[in-house]
Structure 1
Amino acid sequence: MMNIWNDAGRPPHERVSALMAEMTLPEKLAQLGSHWTKANVGNGAARVAPIEEALVAVAGEAEAMAHGIGHLTRPYGTRPLTVAEGRAELVRRQRFLVEETRLGIPAIAHEECLTGFAAHGATVYPTPLAWAATFDTGLIERMGAAIGRDMAAVGVHQGLSPVLDVVRDYRWGRVEETIGEDPFLVGAIGTAYVRGLQSQGVIATLKHFAGHAASRGARNHAPVSIGPREMADVILPPFERAVVEGGAGSVMNTYTDQDGVPAAADPRLLTDLLREEWGFEGTVVSDYGSVAFLRTMHRVAASDGDAARVALTAGMDVELPNTRCYGEELHQQVVSGRVSEETVDRAVRRVLLQKVGLGLLDAGWTPEADAGVGTPVDLDSDANRALAAEIGARSVVLLANDRAVLPLDAARTRSIALIGPRADDPQTFLGCYSFPNHVLPKYPGHPLGLHIPSLRDALAAELPDAAVVYEQGCPVTGGDGSGIPAAVSAAAQAGLALVVVGDRSGMFGNGTSGEGCDVADLRLPGRQAELIGAVLDTGTPVVLVVVSGRPYALGDLAPRCAAVVQAFMPGQEGGAALAGVLTGRTEPSGRLPVQIPAEPGAQPGTYLNPPLGRYSEGISVLDNRPLFPFGHGLSYTSFAYRDLALSAGRIPTDGEVEISCLVRNSGPRAGRETVQLYFDDPVAQVARPVLQLADFAGVWLEPGEEKRVTFRLHADRTAYTGLAGHRIVEPGTIRLMVGSSSADLPLTAEVELAGPERRLRGRGAVR
């Protein structure tokens, strides 16, 4: 006879209730834990972190899973396995759960998927900062779906992405993982990724909830020193949008503490806000080791059991990556009465409901079918690579082209000096959470498993008749400048110097960008700035290409260059993407999701500065104006704006206004313009940003073609946290601006919000 919980025809809550009625306390607790099989992990010299001991399993696999398990951690993303090897390992572990535990409940298998499925040989897409540079939600939703399709095909149920941290300080190492510095852009792009991933039946995990990128001094894991208003108006909106509009199935906490309260122990964040106000119904999973960190790092718990009590009570459902605190230690907390079984049941129900939704409890489910055994799968298919190439090309930002040296013409391409430490390294284009940069440093000499052309390779294919002389000049890091004279000599003899600099992405000091790779200021790493300056001194026209995970200060260099191009780690097809933009095969259309600073120490903050955060001549000698502003990006054509029209000059505080304008391609080539709508609230209860992105839209125009672009702006979009601490829509005048960047807004108008002040609550707070 079929168990009630295996009957797919019954309502999910009925199935889960029937199963929970059969479960012992150890079986319930097992569903809140996880296991990471890290046997045979490589022994390369690359460090992971001094906190790695907190991530190690405290029990062997059989013991850890004796009563079942909630999650299996990274079955494909821990070692360089083939698909067949990964499937066999996953099936073995799932079959143990099905056949060797009393209730036979399969586990949720989760993986990283920040730049694609983090498995050996899987397509590496551009970093999230590059997603943001496309300003294209539809493109990123397609990518999310492609990633989800590959993960689902091999039995992975949950992906640990997207990162919705809003950049507050460019020195933070994980800027490359973010979707930029504007909460509206982060929310729009991040929610598109969630929709794409979950359309394939893979649960998206929002991280890091909340405030990770606002850590003090841009240091990883540092305390967060921001007020509740900045948290509410800048940090939280992307998460709210991805929960309310995107229906995200999981949320992961941040490691940091805000005002002394660690996120993993904060019921106001994990329960009151997330569940009661936003209506979130999924699971909250711990960032790796963060439950134990309540004892070891935050010191708000006296023991692992105490840490489990604090976290579970706050609303943390699942401990990842191993069961360290939610096992026997939590069991003792329940037996002693310090944690109620009702609190345990609350979390268990959430986990089991997800397993029901994934089909893991259905009659006839098998590990082999779930993992797709016998079904061919290509994790780096032609379709994947084409999509990665499209996103990579769309993300490249042309910052300057003052002397019109780009696109490269036939005369110049016959004599090019290709210089710089990023010009001939295929891993230049990959982020720190890509499998080659995240896992393979532990396996020195192991093949990448992917064909990744460097920019040098791509240019040779793009310009087969060009005479290209390559000189590294200097490494990315360190003081070795012995190659600079050779680079100078090559540049002096060339018609054009193409200088390619930037970051090497890695983890915890293994790179210049990535998790734990925080910096003191925004100078280019190593002697790269010196290399650029020496090449510029030759008088040869210089095209500067920066491939990086964060913006670097270019104020002393960019104005001397003939052209400047920025790429934010554009993925495995990044070489071809850059070469296409440089030669004009691809029309540049990327726009900056973060500003490019002029000075390395005069932090501009982000463009969301209130009046006192802006440049104030005569008040301070520090000029914090950016070299290139948020939203900036050039094309090989030009665009003109005219005829701004509003559907009404006055709307109620719960109303909506339609804003439109005509955009014309006034140049010689077809191109894509990203039309940007901003607003300003000139008089408010509190100091607000001088400028905020309200919406954006891409439009493709042939030469001479003109189209009307229309936006709809609800009054709720102007909401902010008022003096009383509530999100409000306030009556008054709102200034609207339309143009091509935050600093190029030729069209302006005003709309009056009329009527009573409105307080926004719960799901109605997102538009």
Structure 2
Amino acid sequence: MHDPWQDPDLPAATRAAELLSRMTLEEKLAQLVSLWPGSDTGEEEGDDVAPMQGELGSLPPDPAALLPYGLGHLTRPFGTAPVDPTEKCRTLAEDQARIAQANRFAIPALAHEECLTGFAAWQATIFPTPLAWGASFDPELVERAAALIGASMRAVGIHQGLAPVLDVTRDPRWGRTEETIGEDPYLVATIATGYVRGLESTGIVSTLKHFAGHAHSRGARNHAPVSIGPRELADIALVPFEMALRDGGARSVMSSYHDLDGQPGTSDDWLLTTLLREEWGFTGTVVSDYFAVSFLELTHRVAGSPAEAAAAALAAGVDVELPAQRCYGSPLLKAVQAGEVPEALVDRATLRVLTQKAELGLLDTGWSAEPPALTDGEGPVDLDPPQLRDVARRIAEESVVLLANKGTEAGGLPLRPQPDARMAVVGPLADDEAPMLGCYAFPRHVGVSHPELPIGVDIPTVLEALRGELPEARVEHVTDPADAAGAQTCVVVAGDRSGLFGRGTSGEGCDARDLELPDGQAELIDAALATGVPVVLVLLTGRPYALGRWEGRLAAVVQAFFPGEEGGGAVAGVLSGRINPSGRLPVGVPRHPGGQPWSYLAPPLGQVGDASSIDPTPLYPFGHGLSYTTFDWQRAAADAATVPTDGGTTVRLTLTNTGDRTGTEVVQLYLHDPVARITRPVNRLIGYTRVELEPGETAEVRFDFHADLTAYSVARGERVVEPGDLELRVAASSGDVRHVLPMALTGSERRVGYDRRMRCETEVVRAA
């Protein structure tokens, strides 16, 4: 015998409602909070945070006194401290069994983890950072990576992943630029949707963050206020969330820290309820960013107490307070009991949490605390197996961008060292694992607090990888650039070390004053150039930096965005020529450290002109990237030059590899709207595809264009497709247009919404 809410044959919402009807207020509220075992979050004066710091982050042996009413979430059981994966898998199972035993419905917690660069656990595979995903222009590969990441998390008992980040880069001085996918909403949307699909395919709940507009902060400062209009919000910030929810199937959204024109995101009922749920039809859970509910009181000052903060967040639509209970605990309980907060709001949030637990099988009669890694596995849990490293390597290789190259004969790339030639490698980052890793990679996020332990995975440095790549050369690491004199080539490795809140040059809370390379690295490059030896600059960064100072002076420039544990080999492979570079810039590289940044999506008055003495034109534009082969772009055409406002056509291009080696071209389709009702970007990406061709091979690239892709917002909640003349631009980058195809939209103006066509499907047909 079992109760209806335990029956897996019933709909999840029905089961959740049945269980909810049996719960006391205390039991309902317990489902809206989390515990963070082993963290520094403990009981403080005036707080209602239960201290749950057991050995290596596990629960104490008898949590019944602390968890008599159950528990909604369990925060980062693997990601809080370095723990052996096999041992942690066992202790998590034991914790879940105790959590279930401590409440009368035997409901376990929903365990969540970070997974922005892979499962954020000790000894787990470290993938390239999201900015590198964007540089790959390969949503299918990112989807494959997410599926492997999700499977590894699910196997050890994790249910929810706090990824991906859908913020669109607006000012790369922002420390979290490395977490974004790029400066274009279409690129961010398509890549992120691939990640969401992969994660959700394994049963892991994908959590979209940070909803919404977090990257638009004033002065690129973390948590800073955001002042953007409804059109910029709709056409830039919200587009990736729309696609990831509608086409990706994400089941959770995270509220953001910032305020939007004075309204904190965590208490914005228009954003979290009217738009997200009523207009978009979202039925999953909204979780707070860590401590964001408390910040309504402590930083935003829109609440005078934890109870007021809880009331505001709950009313707006935040279902779960993360990472630990402070406001949704006894302060909210007392407010409901006093009639200050309607219990119906608690019921609404609890129903959503229980529905998600039912979907995950956590309410089933046969639920077991034993995760697959323990019930099916033999031997130790391996979080860094070959198949994950292989996909991490593939993303790293596809994401390396060749920005500039004078060629081998001029000392550029590919490197062709003479027998026993001396190659000088300069810079402290050349033999350091840190510049491979983003701030959400476990070694940079948590591991820095445990220097006594090894990193946990094998991370070859650029120096190590280059020595393996070029065994015939004498690759020497020199600390003084002057010592490079007399070498055949000098490779300067520069960039960032990620960290948190000022403990790095990139990462959350590590915002930059300008876009000058940090830590005196510009002078290092100058000193290397002064030797007269050809200099190849390798950048391992979390953001783009200004490179105009060396324009035309470097033999080659290679850009990698925190490429993960396999990044050293990817960079070395590009330098040697083993890998033909195919990465493209997901964000423009500025010419000057000031006068920038400005997204390529600027309208005419945001471009260079007589109205200002400042030229914001990037040195290397969005979408830019070079190859070691050449491609011929011919016969670009649209099947129809006139298209109704509710119709579409096919855009075609014949592409031929005219070089002597296999290579990949990234063909991009941009939209130019000469006359619109409001100012519009001069160029806007609406489609792209990677095309790999053998030497001499030809293929036809096809873009399925639909008029919905021209839609833009004219007012809050009003997006239109209007008739008129357009240009479709087939391009190698936003600054390198190869073919312009005039087009006219005819018929009546159409109002479109959440169900509009958002994606330009592509097809590559190879010549027989």
Same-fold status (TM-score > 0.5): yes
SS in 1 for 2:429: coil
Q: 1:410 aligns with which of 392, 404, 417?
A: 417
CA distance in 2, matches of 1:520, 1:296: 26
Q: Deviations over 1:678-729 (max 9, x none)?
A: 0111100000100000100111111121110000111111111115761111
> CA separation of 1:64/1:300 partners in 2, compared to 1, >3 Å: closer, same or farther?
farther
SS in 1 for 2:686: strand
2:352 alignment counterpart: 350
1:379 alignment counterpart: 383
2:763 alignment counterpart: none
Q: Any residues of structure 2 matched to 1:268-347 within 5 Å, and which?
A: 268-347=270-349
Q: Any residues of structure 2 matched to 1:248-647 within 5 Å, and which?
A: 248-369=250-371, 372-373=374-375, 375-376=377-378, 377-404=381-408, 405-411=412-418, 414-472=421-479, 486-489=480-483, 491-616=484-609, 618-647=610-639
> CA separation of 1:418/1:539 partners in 2, compared to 1, >3 Å: closer, same or farther?
same
SS in 2 for 1:745: strand
CA contact (8 A) 1:75 1:89 kept: no
Q: Deviations over 1:560-613 (max 9, x none)?
A: 101000000100001100011110111100000000000001114110000010
SS in 1 for 2:178: helix
Amino acid at match of 1:390: R
CA contact (8 A) 1:54 1:292 kept: no
1:714 aligns with 2:714: no
Cα shift at 1:369 = 3.8
1:25 aligns with 2:25: yes
> CA separation of 1:455/1:412 partners in 2, compared to 1, >3 Å: closer, same or farther?
farther
Q: Any residues of structure 2 matched to 1:229-244 within 5 Å, and which?
A: 229-244=231-246
SS in 2 for 1:627: coil
Amino acid at match of 1:68: G
Amino acid at match of 1:459: L
Amino acid at match of 1:487: P
Cα shift at 1:89 = 2.4
Single out whichever of 333-342 and 162-171 deviates more from structure 2. Answer: 333-342
Cα shift at 1:414 = 2.1
CA contact (8 A) 2:419 2:472 kept: no
Amino acid at match of 2:481: A
SS in 1 for 2:696: coil
Q: 1:669 aligns with which of 651, 661, 665?
A: 661
RMSD value, Cα: 1.7
CA contact (8 A) 1:630 1:742 kept: yes
SS in 1 for 2:653: strand
Cα shift at 1:57 = 3.2
Q: 1:91 aligns with which of 90, 93, 105?
A: 93
CA contact (8 A) 2:517 2:546 kept: yes
Q: Deviations over 1:28-73 (max 9, x none)?
A: 011011000126x7xxxxxx9xxx9999934446354221111000
Q: Deviations over 1:326-384 (max 9, x none)?
A: 11111112112222121111111111111011011111111114663562432100111
> CA separation of 1:321/1:212 partners in 2, compared to 1, >3 Å: closer, same or farther?
same
CA contact (8 A) 1:156 1:371 kept: no
1:35 aligns with 2:28: no
Amino acid at match of 2:730: V
Q: Deviations over 1:220-269 (max 9, x none)?
A: 00000111111111110000110111110100011000110000000100
1:480 alignment counterpart: none
SS in 2 for 1:114: coil
Single out whichever of 203-212 and 2-11 deviates more from structure 2. Answer: 2-11
> CA separation of 1:151/1:725 partners in 2, compared to 1, >3 Å: closer, same or farther?
closer
SS in 2 for 1:696: strand
CA distance in 1, matches of 2:418, 2:354: 66
CA contact (8 A) 1:55 1:321 kept: no
CA distance in 2, matches of 1:645, 1:610: 26
Amino acid at match of 1:550: R
CA distance in 2, matches of 1:662, 1:53: 69
Percent of paired sites with the same residue: 54
1:75 aligns with 2:77: yes
Amino acid at match of 2:494: V
1:760 aligns with 2:762: no
Single out whichever of 148-157 and 95-104 deviates more from structure 2. Answer: 95-104
CA distance in 2, matches of 1:683, 1:629: 24
SS in 2 for 1:276: helix
1:7 alignment counterpart: 7
CA contact (8 A) 2:156 2:371 kept: no
Q: Any residues of structure 2 matched to 1:95-114 within 5 Å, and which?
A: 95-114=97-116
1:483 alignment counterpart: none
- What count of residue pairs does the alignment treat as equivalent? 742
1:482 alignment counterpart: none
> CA separation of 1:422/1:409 partners in 2, compared to 1, >3 Å: closer, same or farther?
same
CA distance in 1, matches of 2:751, 2:645: 10
Amino acid at match of 1:488: A
> CA separation of 1:746/1:536 partners in 2, compared to 1, >3 Å: closer, same or farther?
same
Q: 2:687 aligns with which of 686, 690, 695?
A: 695
> CA separation of 1:183/1:249 partners in 2, compared to 1, >3 Å: closer, same or farther?
same
Q: Deviations over 1:635-669 (max 9, x none)?
A: 00011111112121111111112111101112221
CA distance in 2, matches of 1:724, 1:287: 26
SS in 2 for 1:751: strand
CA distance in 2, matches of 1:426, 1:743: 34
Single out whichever of 146-155 and 644-653 deviates more from structure 2. Answer: 644-653
Cα shift at 1:763 = 2.9
CA distance in 2, matches of 1:395, 1:16: 44
Amino acid at match of 2:618: P
CA contact (8 A) 2:12 2:355 kept: yes
CA distance in 2, matches of 1:651, 1:115: 42
Cα shift at 1:464 = 1.4
Single out whichever of 619-628 and 214-223 deviates more from structure 2. Answer: 619-628
2:765 alignment counterpart: none
CA distance in 2, matches of 1:58, 1:586: 53
SS in 2 for 1:722: strand
Q: Deviations over 1:87-123 (max 9, x none)?
A: 1221222111211211111111000000000000000
SS in 2 for 1:660: strand
> CA separation of 1:436/1:621 partners in 2, compared to 1, >3 Å: closer, same or farther?
same
CA distance in 2, matches of 1:87, 1:311: 33
Q: Any residues of structure 2 matched to 1:118-197 within 5 Å, and which?
A: 118-197=120-199
SS in 2 for 1:721: strand
CA contact (8 A) 2:172 2:597 kept: no
SS in 2 for 1:452: coil
Question: Can you give the 5+ residue segments of structure 1 that lack an aligned partner in the other structure?
Answer: 42-47, 473-485
> CA separation of 1:370/1:321 partners in 2, compared to 1, >3 Å: closer, same or farther?
farther
CA contact (8 A) 1:646 1:657 kept: yes
TM-score by length of 2: 0.95
SS in 1 for 2:575: helix
